Amino acid sequence: MTHLSPVTRIILLTLKAFRKYYKGLVFLLLAVLLSCNPSSQVNEQVYRGEALGTTYQVKFFHTEKLDLQKGLDSIFKVINTSMSTYQADSDISRINSGDTTIVVDENFREVFNYSQQIFNESNGFFDPTVGKLVNAYGFGPEAGKVQLSKEMLDSIKQFVGFQKVELTRSNHIKKEHPGIYLDFNAIAKGYTVDVIARYLDSKNVNDYLLELGGELVAKGVNQYKEEAWAVGIDTPMEEERERELYAAVKLENRAMATSGNYRKFRIDSLSGQRFVHTINPITGFAEKSNLLSASVLAENCTLADGYATAFMALGLEKSIEMAQKLENVEVYLIYTDEENKVKTYITPGFESSLLAEN
């Protein structure tokens, strides 16, 4: 920490001393600003807002004051126009409605191809066509309690299976059945963060931390702290008011995404064990899972987002098997054991990124 004034040094030490007591929301950004540093020659800039049905924060350092709001708004608009299932006139909504004339854009193609990759790597457990099956079981706190007959499942499963969808050379979407419903919400947020990262790269921004709905990309360092960006993983607690930080992660030129249902877990009336319901896209059944959360470090946020979703669908044992086969991907899994104790499975690469409590 060279070129820091005595006052700034004191503030740094004080912040580090209190870091372990800091509680907050999932993916809480731990990089606190030290704006009193008189020697700093860079401008710290922060953009916050709402987009894609969630919130975002873009934080970066640059020697010049940059106006990026129009660029960010343009990115969100383009992504929504391409892949928002909540926008009736988006490309994906029109495709889902049966329009076969849509020529999809580069954003759609990239997300489609990444989805196909993760679909294959997860043996079909990551599936952007599973929406109709999920909806059939019910959405929200009562999800997984609806009992579907075999006949009902069979009728729905004909619409499930990403292998039944093709991206043609002419950039049209071809479906085996017109009723197949595409939904990229499990990967589109991560992809959007990557697009924002490219945008900042084009502006010669070398130090930034981006977050959209909990999906993150970091590059360079937090210049005020002169160290890597730090982010948090939330602890799985039963009550919302008890939320606190479970782990702190050093994010260095990587992306991180977390998927989890630990706010919607249930207690088994016989064993007392915590579990969540996940939909098995292969069998169509809603199954109990003791995997509460999956956090993933990857080279980009599209992959991190998709893998985190895939792990939640796979469950603990299959997630560990898959994680061991992936290159340049690290995972942090939170689960409950037979005695209802919260445990973690951490790959060595992820463990090396954890920040020790001071």
- Binding site as annotated, residues: 186, 305, 309
Q: How far apart are CA 202 and CA 219, in angstroms?
A: 13
Cβ(215)–Cβ(329) under 8 Å? no
Six token digits for residue 26: 């999932």
The DSSP symbol for 354 reads B
Q: Which residues are annotated as a binding site for Mg(2+)?
A: 186, 305, 309
Residues in the chain: 358
Instruction: Of 312, 286, 295, give the one whose Cα is nearest residue 257.
Output: 295
Instruction: Of 222, 17, 182, give the one whose Cα is nearest residue 94.
Output: 182
CA 73 to chain centre: 20
Number of separate helices (H) and strands (E) present in the chain: 10, 15
Q: How far apart are CA 201 and CA 195, in angstroms?
A: 10
Six token digits for residue 195: 């697009």
Q: How far apart are CA 145 and CA 131, in angstroms?
A: 17
CA 3 to chain centre: 37
Q: What are phi and psi of 54, to 5 degrees?
A: -150, -165
The DSSP symbol for 345 reads E
Q: How far apart are CA 304 and CA 287, in angstroms?
A: 24
DSSP states of 112-180: HHHHHHHHHHTTTSS-TTTHHHHHHH-SSTTTT-PPPPHHHHHHHHTT--GGGEEE-TTS-EEESSTT-
